[in-house]
Amino acid sequence: MTVAALQAYGERAARREGAVLRQPSIDALVDELDIERLIAEGGLEGTRLQLFLDHYLSGATRLHHPRYMAHQVGVPVPHAALAALIDGFTNNPMAIYEMGPPAAAIEHAVLNWMMTKVGWRGSACGKRCGAGVLTHGGSLANLTALLAARARCAPWSWTEGIPSNLVLVCSPGSHYSIARAAAILGLGAQNAHYAATDALGRIDPELLPGQLRRLCQEGKLPIAVVANAGSTALGLFDPIRDIGAICREHGVWLHVDGAHGASTLLSSRLRHLVNGIEDADSIVWDAHKMLRSPLLCAAVLVRDETALNDAFQQDASYLFHDKDEPGIDFAHRTIECTKAALGLKVFFALAHGGEQALAAVIDRQTDLAQAAADLLRATPGIEVAVQPQTNIVCFRLHGTDALQLAIRKRLTHDGVFYISTAEALGKRWLRLVLMNPNTTIDDIAELRTEVLALGRG
Ligand SMILES: *Cc1c(COP(=O)(O)O)cnc(C)c1O
């Protein structure tokens, strides 16, 4: 029954039937779903389950609808939802090998596959040998990677606390989790310094060496430079190879935040966007974005295989002791203790059509974004921020920032299209993230008509 309901939900959405999203009040939803009574009395089965599912699915935001264009959440390969079911039933937290050997084996193999894509495994990489861990999301992955950077730069921080001169350097277009990581790691959010950028907001490698030198002259110790492989607002890539060369020269850790864009590693056409990523010290790569895996699954990868283990120096006598075991304890590399079988989710997404099927979707979505940008740019009264490098398109109607927000508010209210907005290059943009393989250029043309009509008031 549940599977049939989900299938019908997905198919109706894919046929563009009904709204993309509804926004009832939270109180109305709690009532409609009969949550309080079910908690008190139980009985969520049979017709009650059916009724609950009807309400739940009619209120759910429909990623499967081709007019869902709002956020960087992957539309999962349907088959991959089975991974969540298998994990939910077996419930093997696998950070300690003996607690879930198959889940740990899959995490290990998926990480090795990712590292092969980066160039840290396989015949091409000489003596290189990376390591990694999967986390619940890119934000936690960024924190983990920057903790490893801090451990390399100021290893005594773990026991003594951090010195006051630690800073990091990132792009002004970096995801908010970078500034949060700076705050959580004790640097202070204001010590996440912005790198100088070019006109499109990408880190300018001409100006970076001077900036690093100045920081050193001021007595600061940069734990890392953070480059974007796919900035959140515009989806643009920093020049990773050039930045990597500068970091090496200055002895600074390079972290590449590829939560969104590292998946271009799969595409022979788009791989060039991340050229030089193999010289990074750490990389974050979300599978639940462009790899169409169910939430959550993100990877932290480090080039030096000891870097993650060195970042954590914890004793837990009930877990960590000498054991004669045939596997790996991932718990030594991660903030989390109990952890879901995250690898299973990306594995199911990959193993359905093979990696080439995911690569083809990434190429297709990029083509669509570029065609959408061309279409919008050719429309009088519309400005496009930049030519997209992946599947993110930012545009705006001539007018104020408030106008863009008002348009999005109306669209969200009507539920016919779901888009987001973002600030970049000093302005507020309407933002499309084209995740759904069923979205077509006709959907974009109809969105354009709708936006123009709303703009006329
Ligand atoms: C999405 C994103 C993140 C955060 O990842 P979550 O999985 O949402 O926590 C970090 N950095 C970039 C560049 C992103 O696009």
331 within some domain: yes
Q: Mutate which of 260, 277, 345, 435 to test ligand 1's pocket (most atoms within 8 Å of Cβ)?
A: 260
Whether residues 132 and 242 share a domain: the answer is: yes
For residue 211, being part of any structural domain is answered with yes
Q: Are residues 369 and 312 in the same domain?
A: no
What mean pLDDT do residues 27-38 have? 96
Final residue in a domain of this structure, among 317, 335, 353:
353
CA separation for the pair 296, 347 (Å, rounded): 13
Q: Tell which of 295, 327, 353 closes a domain.
A: 353
∠ at Cα 229 (223, 231), nearest 5°? 95
- Residue in 290, 286, 292 with CA at minimum distance from that of residue 77: 292
* CATH code for the domain in which residue 212 is found: 3.40.640.10
* pLDDT at 325 (0 to 100): 73
Contacts of 104 (CB under 8 A, 6+ apart): 94, 97, 327, 328, 330
Average pLDDT over residues 361-375: 98
How far does the centroid of ligand 1 lie from the alpha carbon of residue 296, in Å? 11
Q: Which domain holds residue 413?
A: 355-455
End-to-end Cα distance, the chain: 45
Give the CA angle between residues 285, 137, 79 to the nearest 5°. Answer: 80
| Same domain, residue pair 349 and 359 | no
- 375 within a domain of the structure (yes/no): yes
Instruction: Tell me the CATH number at 378.
Output: 3.90.1150.10
Same domain, 285 and 390: no
Q: How many domains does the chain have?
A: 2
The token pair at 118 is 């980066």
What pLDDT sits at residue 119?
Answer: 94
With cut-offs at 50, 70 and 90, classify the pLDDT of residue 93: confident
CB of 175 within 6 A of ligand 1: the answer is: yes
pLDDT at 314: 66
Please tell me whether residues 310 and 414 are part of one structural domain: no
User: 302 with 444, same domain?
Assistant: no
Does the CB atom of residue 227 touch ligand 1 within 6 A? no
Among protein residues, the one with the nearest Cα to ligand 1's atom 2 is: 259
Neighbours of 33 (CB within 10 A): 15
Tell me which residue has its CA closest to atom 3 in ligand 1.
Answer: 138
Arithmetic mean of pLDDT over the chain: 95
Residue 154 lies in a domain: yes
Which pTM value belongs to this model?
A: 0.96
Mean pLDDT within 381-404:
98
Q: Is the CB of 255 under 6 A from ligand 1?
A: no
Please report the pLDDT score of residue 318 as a whole number: 64
Give the model's confidence band at 120: pLDDT under 50 very low, under 70 low, under 90 confident, else very high.
very high
Q: What are the distances in angstroms from CA 23 to CA 27, 29, 410?
A: 11, 10, 12
- The answer on 378 and 233 residing in a single domain is no
Sequential DSSP letters for 277-333: GGG-SEEEEESSSTT-PPS--EEEEESBTTHHHHH-----TTT-S----SS--GGGG
Tell me which residue has tokens 């009088």. 380
For 82, the enclosing helix (H) or strand (E) is helix 81-90
Same domain, 128 and 92: yes
At position 179, the amino acid (one-letter code) is A
Q: How far is it, in rounded angstroms, from Cα 116 to Cα 111?
A: 9
pLDDT beyond 90 at 186: yes
More confident position, 94 or 11: 11
Under the banding of pLDDT at 50, 70 and 90, the label for residue 433 is: very high
Distance CA 229, CA 306 (A): 24
pLDDT at 427 > cutoff 80: yes
Task: Calculate mean pLDDT across residues 148-161.
Answer: 95
Rounded average pLDDT over 115-132: 81
| Ligand 1 proximity of 392 Cβ (cutoff 6 Å) | no
What mean pLDDT do residues 249-274 have?
A: 98
pLDDT, position 209: 98
Q: What is the pLDDT of residue 319?
A: 62
Beta-carbon contacts of 434 under 8 Å, excluding residues fewer than 6 positions away, are 69, 365, 368, 369, 372, 391, 392, 393
Q: Are residues 314 and 397 in the same domain?
A: no
Count of CB atoms within 10 A of residue 396's CB?
A: 24
Confidence (pLDDT) at 122: 72
Q: Which of 295, 330, 353 is a domain's end point?
A: 353
Quick check: CB of 258 below 6 Å from ligand 1?
no
Look at residue 380 and tell me if it is in a domain.
yes
In this structure, the answer to whether residues 251 and 367 fall within a common structural domain is no
Give residue-wise pLDDT tens across range 277-322.
999 999 999 999 999 999 999 999 999 989 998 899 866 666 666 6
Residue 130 maps to a domain: yes
Instruction: Give yes or no for residue 128 having a pLDDT over 60.
Output: no
Cα separation, 310 vs 431, in Å, equals 40
- The answer to whether residue 2 sits within a structural domain is no
Please report the pLDDT score of residue 329 as a whole number.
85
| 327 shares its domain with 396 | no
Q: Looking at the structure, do residues 202 and 267 belong to the same domain, yes or no?
A: yes
Atom of ligand 1 nearest to the CA of 175: 11
Residue 163 pLDDT > 80, yes or no?
Answer: yes
Q: Is 67 part of a structural domain of the chain? A: no
